[in-house]
A and B are shown apart, each in its own frame.
Chain A
Amino acid sequence: MVITMRFMLLFSRQGKLRLQKWYTATAERDKKKMVRELMQVVLARKPKMCSFLEWRDLKIVYKRYASLYFCCAVEEQDNELITLEVIHRFVELLDKYFGSVCELDIIFNFEKAYFILDEFLMGGEIQDTSKKSVLKAIEQADLLQEEDESPRSVLEEMGLA
């Protein structure tokens, strides 16, 4: 079977969820249960342990960046090492976008974190391997959003005012 990422979670050391992206249709209460369970398992890991663990029928790849845990659940046969690189790429994108990203950025701008993730991955697969390309798309989309918020008059639109 093709390697699939089932979901990605971001959570703090205190067990607060900061982002959850599910790539398979799952019931709300199952999601909650899985998140709670997985957070417990990952938070119990010691620093010296490796970044991979088996949980239910999945492989969990996780890495801690400052106060945030980035956690991906992949199918059994995946290449865990490249999944670590995928996580790292996402963190780099966030870092470039927010300028030295920290947890607070993700808390207060969670919707932007999602936009970036959705520009980077689709269905758990990478859309573009170029950092520059992803960031440019986000930038352009942000511009569009700004245009919405300060609409130009008809005359302005026509360049007559």
Chain B
Amino acid sequence: MPAPIRLRELIRTIRTARTQAEEREMIQKECAAIRSSFREEDNTYRCRNVAKLLYMHMLGYPAHFGQLECLKLIASQKFTDKRIGYLGAMLLLDERQDVHLLMTNCIKNDLNHSTQYVQGLALCTLGCMGSSEMCRDLAGEVEKLLKTSNSYLRKKAALCAVHVIRKVPELMEMFLPATKNLLSEKNHGVLHTSVVLLTEMCERSPDMLSHFRKVWLLVPQLVRILKNLIMSGYSPEHDVSGISDPFLQVRILRLLRILGRSDDDSSEAMNDILAQVATNTETSKNVGNAILYETVLTIMDIKSESGLRVLAINILGRFLLNNDKNIRYVALTSLLKTVQTDHNAVQRHRSTIVDCLKDLDVSIKRRAMELSFALVNGNNIRGMMKELLYFLDSCDPEFKADCASGVFLAAEKYAPSKRWHIDTIMRVLTTAGSYVRDDSVPNLIQLITNSVEMHAYTVQRLYKALLDDISQQPLVQVSSWCIGEYGDLLVSGQCEEEEPIQVTEDEVLDVLEGLLLSNLSTPVTRGYSLLGEILNRIKKVVSVYGSSIDVELQQRAVEYNALFKKYDHMRPALLERMPIMEKTASNGPTEIVQTNGETEPSVPDTKHPPLVTQPANQANDLLDLLGGNDVVPVIQTTLPTKPASAGGELLDLLGDLSLSGGPAPAPVPSVPVSQPPFLLDGLSSQPLFTDIAAVIPPMTAYNKNGLKIEFTFERANPNPNIAVITIHATNTTEADMTEFVFQAAVPKTFQLQLLSPSSNIVPALNQGSITQIIRVLNPQKQQLRMRVKLTYTHKGLPVQDLAEVNNFPPQSWQ
């Protein structure tokens, strides 16, 4: 069997692969060779094979079959084997695999090895990946090594102890005696790792911390060491850019921070040395600034005197002016942390901070923005807001939402005047309108509502803004709402703050209409506009336009009618003159806003009357019952509990309808394609308040057993093939008809859509009616015929009836 190829050779070979596939092939071949070599228990080449495996593992290939081999290498006597074995163990194993426990014995032996480098390997492995069980087993060995005079081992033992304590905190105490003398060492490695160990102990145990402060008098000891470091002459071994052992300095400063935290005496004892480090450290290179940074963090965290704190913040202020962006970054981060406690000191650096808004780095900009908002107060609001709005104009989209929210918050807290406040809001809406968060719109509306004296001014400004630009949805929404709410002020030209503009009701309505028509307006916006439409004319509209040509409006009008009757008592005092506009769930595209000083996000419908919930089944029933090949499935809409696009709903419903067997009904898939425009047709260019209900005479479609159903008609003018029928169901008997469901089917050359009914109870003795809208598409202008199925419960008994409706007036389909 030839010797397995060397590691470097394998690496060279693999790198010649030109494709991923080629590489994979080479790897597989080598892995097979390695596997058979492992099976042969070859001691000579095990090391080489594992090394190769580790390389392949780094490339991303599986290497788990080498785990046990690593353990065998660790157990070998050869140093080379151990080196690779331990490396392999650290790369391929971790405490989550049981296999790792097999290492424990080997590590134990190696911790006691005669060669310090072997002991070092064992300590390193234990210190990097030892599990709690291993740590428990081997803590004693580590403790022993902590007391050795060999500084090479002592430093490693200290860090290993850190890991042991992290894994098994209860073992902390046993290391205490050994730790005591560590700080008297001269060796920097031991000093450094000892400080890390002490830090770990202090962080984990308040008792330990107290013990170190009071019994060991650790603070003066550390102060002395730090002082020696700074004052001592040049030590080439530990020097970095002229600074003596910066790593050790930083660790000592960090430990001092923990000791000084919430302890006056300790804080006082370190005051001088902190001032000394803060003033004397060389700042030309990163390393000096790293020490200064740690010093600042310590000063801010302990109970330092105010002079020292000011010194710290000034260091941060200088950092802000540093050319190095990393330094500016840490300065902003720290200032953000201290701005609450040392607000005035940070304020002095406000202009520098604001300048950082123009930085090129994204993280720096973000911090500068957060800090700027934190620094805004009643005195600087005007100036700060100017800068922040300028930032908002030009910043990346990822910032706009947060910045806009921040501006609104700040404006709310510190606005010097209502007018300024509104102007600021306007500015945000016009420049970053599309990024304003969804909840901002209702909050804004509330704000506007509460600035009573500014209503006229606000609505006027918003109106003017609308004239300029209707592409930013939040602006349009707020504007529409305001126009709806305060339109009377707009129209009457009462504005004190500005030159009042002469606006007539028609002009206002034109604008709102324009919104409805614009493709740019989202459905939500249209909803706001509709609300505006209904301003002041609400009662008229509701009664007359209950059968308007526009189905959406018609539906809304019908809903409003019902709502006004039932919920009139909810009118808030604040808006007495205004009719209530309630927020309901969106049914398809539109939403309406509640105006009692608060607005709420869209709420799942609880106010709509309960509706049919099984359109699919009923449609099937209908097909079954009516049979024949000349019926198409009825498409019945229900109120979805979540908003969906009109087209989407339709598709869902059609998906639900499974067509029963029997001769081909009209192809369903073609329907959804035409439906969405179908539904919105009614919203296209239409004078919204024309009354053409009188054109087609109404008819009685059904009259039996006290239930009378009348049909009234309209044409949807842009599409004369669509007839819009409103059914009115009334009940002359003395008992209500409950759970009333109306279904209809038409011949296959027609398409039919049934919208939600106003309710499902037909009150007794003509006390009310159910209305429901049917839309019929009749492209071939054939005579309209319909089969209807009625089901309801009357006096406790279910009733069902089928009927043909053939007496449609010719105008409804010609």
Contact surface of A with B, Cβ cutoff 8 Å: 1-3, 17-20, 23, 25-27, 32, 48-54, 79-82, 84-86, 89, 107-108, 110-111, 114-115, 118-119, 122-123, 125-133, 137, 140-141, 144-145, 147-149
Q: How many Å from the CB of A46 to the closest CB on chain B?
A: 8
11 further A-B contacts with Cβ under 8 Å, apart from A20-B58, A52-B326, A141-B120, are A19-B58, A50-B363, A52-B363, A79-B250, A80-B326, A80-B330, A81-B290, A108-B11, A111-B87, A126-B192, A145-B80
Is A122 a contact partner of B55 (Cβ separation < 8 A)? no
Q: Provide the residues of chain A in CB contact with B96, threshold 8 Å.
A: 25, 27
Is B54 a contact partner of A84 (Cβ separation < 8 A)? no
Is B240 a contact partner of A85 (Cβ separation < 8 A)? yes
Is B163 a contact partner of A123 (Cβ separation < 8 A)? yes
Q: Provide the residues of chain B in CB contact with A114, threshold 8 Å.
A: 87
Query: CB within 8 A of A81: which of B94, B245, B286?
Result: B286
Q: Provide the residues of chain B in CB contact with A132, threshold 8 Å.
A: 237
Chain B residue at smallest Cβ distance from A32: B60
Is A85 a contact partner of B192 (Cβ separation < 8 A)? no
Is B237 a contact partner of A144 (Cβ separation < 8 A)? no
Contact surface of B with A, Cβ cutoff 8 Å: 7-8, 11-12, 15, 51, 54-55, 58-60, 78-81, 83-84, 87, 90, 94-96, 115, 117, 120, 123-124, 127-129, 152, 155-156, 159-160, 162-163, 188-189, 192-193, 196, 199-200, 203, 237-238, 240, 245-248, 250, 254, 286-287, 289-290, 293-294, 297, 325-330, 360-364
Q: How many Å from the CB of B234 to the closest CB on chain A?
A: 14
Is A17 a contact partner of B58 (Cβ separation < 8 A)? yes
CA of A86 to CA of B247 in the docked complex: distance in angstroms? Answer: 8
Is B237 a contact partner of A52 (Cβ separation < 8 A)? no
Q: Provide the residues of chain A in CB contact with B203, threshold 8 Å.
A: 1-2
Is A107 a contact partner of B196 (Cβ separation < 8 A)? no
CA of A3 to CA of B166 in the docked complex: distance in angstroms? Answer: 12
Is A85 a contact partner of B128 (Cβ separation < 8 A)? no
CA of A2 to CA of B51 in the docked complex: distance in angstroms? Answer: 34
Q: Provide the residues of chain A in CB contact with B254, threshold 8 Å.
A: 3, 79
CA of A145 to CA of B55 in the docked complex: distance in angstroms? Answer: 20
Instruction: Check A111/B54 contact, CB under 8 A, given A49-B325, A131-B237, A141-B83.
Output: yes
CA of A110 to CA of B78 in the docked complex: distance in angstroms? Answer: 20
Is B155 a contact partner of A128 (Cβ separation < 8 A)? yes
Q: How many Å from the CB of A99 to the closest CB on chain B?
A: 17
Instruction: Check A149/B80 contact, CB under 8 A, given A79-B294, A84-B290, A127-B189.
Output: yes
Q: Provide the residues of chain A in CB contact with B95, threshold 8 Å.
A: 25
Is B162 a contact partner of A137 (Cβ separation < 8 A)? no
Is B363 a contact partner of A54 (Cβ separation < 8 A)? yes
Chain A residue at smallest Cβ distance from B96: A25
CA of A122 to CA of B159 in the docked complex: distance in angstroms? Answer: 7
Among A20, A26, A107, A127, the one with the most B-chain Cβ atoms within 10 Å of its Cβ is A127
Q: Provide the residues of chain A in CB contact with B196, threshold 8 Å.
A: 125
Is A148 a contact partner of B79 (Cβ separation < 8 A)? yes
Q: How many Å from the CB of B507 to the closest CB on chain A?
A: 51
Is B84 a contact partner of A111 (Cβ separation < 8 A)? yes
Query: CB within 8 A of B326: which of A84, A129, A149?
Result: A84
Q: Provide the residues of chain A in CB contact with B120, threshold 8 Å.
A: 119, 137, 141
Is B159 a contact partner of A85 (Cβ separation < 8 A)? no
Query: CB within 8 A of A48: which of B117, B159, B361?
Result: B361
Is B364 a contact partner of A50 (Cβ separation < 8 A)? yes
Q: Provide the residues of chain A in CB contact with B193, threshold 8 Å.
A: 125-127
Q: Provide the residues of chain B in CB contact with A149, threshold 8 Å.
A: 80
Q: Provide the residues of chain B in CB contact with A137, threshold 8 Å.
A: 117, 120, 152
Q: Provide the residues of chain A in CB contact with B159, threshold 8 Å.
A: 122-123, 125, 127
Chain A residue at smallest Cβ distance from B95: A25
Q: Provide the residues of chain A in CB contact with B87, threshold 8 Å.
A: 111, 114-115, 118
Is A130 a contact partner of B327 (Cβ separation < 8 A)? no
Q: Provide the residues of chain A in CB contact with B192, threshold 8 Å.
A: 126-129
CA of A149 to CA of B6 in the docked complex: distance in angstroms? Answer: 14
CA of A19 to CA of B55 in the docked complex: distance in angstroms? Answer: 10
Is A144 a contact partner of B361 (Cβ separation < 8 A)? no
Query: CB within 8 A of A82: which of B60, B79, B247, B363?
Result: B247
Query: CB within 8 A of A144: which of B54, B117, B240?
Result: B117
CA of A49 to CA of B51 in the docked complex: distance in angstroms? Answer: 38
Chain B residue at smallest Cβ distance from A35: B60
Is B326 a contact partner of A50 (Cβ separation < 8 A)? yes
Q: Provide the residues of chain B in CB contact with A50, threshold 8 Å.
A: 325-326, 328-329, 361, 363-364
Q: Provide the residues of chain A in CB contact with B294, threshold 8 Å.
A: 79, 82
Q: Provide the residues of chain A in CB contact with B60, threshold 8 Å.
A: 17, 32
CA of A140 to CA of B84 in the docked complex: distance in angstroms? Answer: 16
Instruction: Check A133/B189 contact, CB under 8 A, given A51-B326, A125-B162, A127-B155.
Output: yes
Query: CB within 8 A of B286: which of A48, A85, A140?
Result: A85
CA of A97 to CA of B326 in the docked complex: distance in angstroms? Answer: 29
Q: Provide the residues of chain A in CB contact with B156, threshold 8 Å.
A: 122, 127
Q: How many Å from the CB of B70 to the closest CB on chain A?
A: 13
Q: Provide the residues of chain A in CB contact with B80, threshold 8 Å.
A: 145, 148-149
Is A128 a contact partner of B188 (Cβ separation < 8 A)? yes
CA of A107 to CA of B10 in the docked complex: distance in angstroms? Answer: 12
Interface pairs (25), CB distance under 8 Å: A3-B254, A25-B95, A49-B363, A50-B325, A50-B361, A50-B364, A52-B363, A79-B294, A82-B294, A84-B326, A85-B240, A110-B55, A111-B51, A118-B90, A122-B156, A122-B160, A123-B127, A128-B192, A129-B188, A129-B189, A129-B245, A137-B117, A145-B83, A148-B78, A148-B79
